[in-house]
Amino acid sequence: DIPCSNTSFMSTILLTGGFGYIGSHTASVLAEKNKDFVIYDNFLNSKYSVIERLESTIGKKIKFVNGDVNDTEKLIEILKKYRINSVIHFADLKSVRESIINPIKYYEINVGGTISLIKAMKKTNIKKLLFSSSATIYGDPEYLPIDENHPLRAINPYGQTKLIVENIIRDLVKVEKD
């Protein structure tokens, strides 16, 4: 559990893609729990109006940075500046249809952006990452409800990007354990 910001040990969370639908709801819950966080978003999948709405909901100003997860150097700067010690990663593109039409864009942003974030985290010695995946990694379900043992068979580029990132994280966890 991440300590509350009102304890002697200050803990700050970076929320990538924090102004998107799931990210903004997560920010709201973190604020409710008195957690200190910074939102990092490039507004590709969100609107500036979310800032005002979220600030109104939580009753305080939000610390945020307009930035792209593919900018490793900026991520390193932000991780250091705000003394981040954990990351919740929502920043990605999310349209299955668009991913079929423009798969390279999805691989560049979803996979490349996550690799950039992980590089920045490694450079700043941050080891806590919560990654937001997707049920699309399971493809057409063999059975319902889908559980963690279900075969992984992403059938579109969006799902493939999520599965690739999961595999990257699995590989990194194996290295860390050794």
Biggest distance spanned by C-alpha atoms of the chain: 50
Q: Which of 40, 106, 138, 158 is catalytic?
A: 158
Q: List all residues 6 or more positions away from 75 whose beta carbon is below 8 Å from its beta carbon.
A: 40, 67, 69, 116, 117, 120
Find, among 46, 31, 25, the residue nearest to 91 by Cα: 46
Strand-pairing partners, residue 176, are none
Q: Is residue 158 flagged as an active site residue?
A: yes
Report CA-CA distances (Å) from 76 to 1, 43, 112, 137, 138.
24, 20, 16, 29, 33
Cα-Cα end-to-end distance for the chain: 24
Token representation of residue 139: 């493809």
Residue with tokens 């709801």: 25
**Alpha-helical runs (H) found in 12-61:** 21-32, 49-58
Catalytic residues: 158
